[in-house]
Amino acid sequence: MKYFELTIQINPYSEAASDVLAALLADAGCEAFVPTATGLKAYIQQTLFDGDVIRAAIDASPLPVSITYERTEAPDENWNATWEAEHHFQPVTLPNGEQLQIVPRQAFGSGEHQTTRMMLQLLAGLDLHGCTMIDAGCGTGILALAALTMGAAHVVAYDIDEWSIRNTTDNFAANGWSADDTSTCRLLLGDARVLQDVTAVDVITANINLNILLKDLPTFVSHLTEGGHLLLSGFLGNDTKPLTEQAYTLGIILRETLVDGEWRALHFQKT
């Protein structure tokens, strides 16, 4: 599989700007990211590369920085294996003390990013024993795995990227769970439309970007049981207002807001 390497310069550089840009580029099709002293390198399949889409993702950054990039053809090699070899991840310790082995082949999902940490914190605040859950945009599968480890009975996890489903499958196996065991988990490839035949659940997690959250919020609410919990992250502080306004029209109540740097997480409940 042929890849392009995008060498991206951020001026002035900050970790927050790099995190935001990686999230935007992930939505534009980039698969792996390597931080540098002045920005980051991103890798995208050549067949998926669209210069206008990449430029639009860069221009969508809300932070006051200048961003430029150069595109080169990446050498033929297993980028996932190379990236994993250069990043030695420690086990992720959940708030209940349990540990997960997570190898993230993308910007988020290692348990280290602020949004993931906040989502794990919100999950830990719920009694998940015997609960059912949907993990929207599962990425590495860390939230689905955390929920099962905390006592959830069944999780439906989906993502629009086939690569993310493979990553989730691998991480399930690394933690002693089988993604083929439909009695505990269903992995689905696609967007929120894959939920058409999924019954209402007790908890929904979605750590994805603002536009997708706003578009899919009605679907999420319709798939919650009465009293069910909706946990959202993946957006910046300025983005909380449109989410809370739409949530109000859908009849769900904001229970908690978490803040970690530029990032936010919201806990809603259906009444």
pLDDT of residue 112: 60
Residues 9 and 123 in one domain: no
Tell me the pLDDT tens digit for each residue of 122-156: 999 999 999 999 999 998 899 999 999 999 999 99
Using the structure block, give the residue that is written with the tokens 């997708």. 212
- Whole-number Å distance between alpha carbons of 148 and 260: 25
**R_g of the chain, CA atoms, integer Å:** 18
Tell me what percent of the residues of the chain surpass a pLDDT of 90: 54
Residues 26, 42: Cα–Cα separation, whole Å: 9
Residues 59, 172: one domain?
no
* Mean pLDDT estimate for the chain: 87
List the domain range (segments joined by +) for residue 136. Answer: 89-270
Query: pLDDT higher for 262 or 214?
Result: 214
DSSP H helices, 90-139, are: 114-124
The CATH number for 30's domain is 3.30.70.260
Q: Which of 54-68, 101-115, 133-147, 156-170 has the lowest mean pLDDT?
A: 101-115
Q: Look at residue 209 in the predicted model and tell me its pLDDT.
A: 82
Q: Is the pLDDT of residue 92 over 80?
A: no
- In this structure, the answer to whether residues 211 and 178 fall within a common structural domain is yes
Neighbours of 23 (CB within 10 A): 25
**Mean pLDDT (whole number) for 201-207:** 97
Cβ-Cβ contacts under 8 Å for 86 (sequence gap 6 or more)? 34
Q: Which amino acid is at 132?
A: T
pLDDT of 258 over the 80 cut = yes
Domain edge (last residue) among 84, 118, 144: 84
Q: Using CB atoms within 10 A of its CB, is residue 197 exposed (0-12), middle (13-18) or buried (19+)?
A: exposed
Tell me, yes or no, whether 97 and 73 share the same domain.
Answer: no
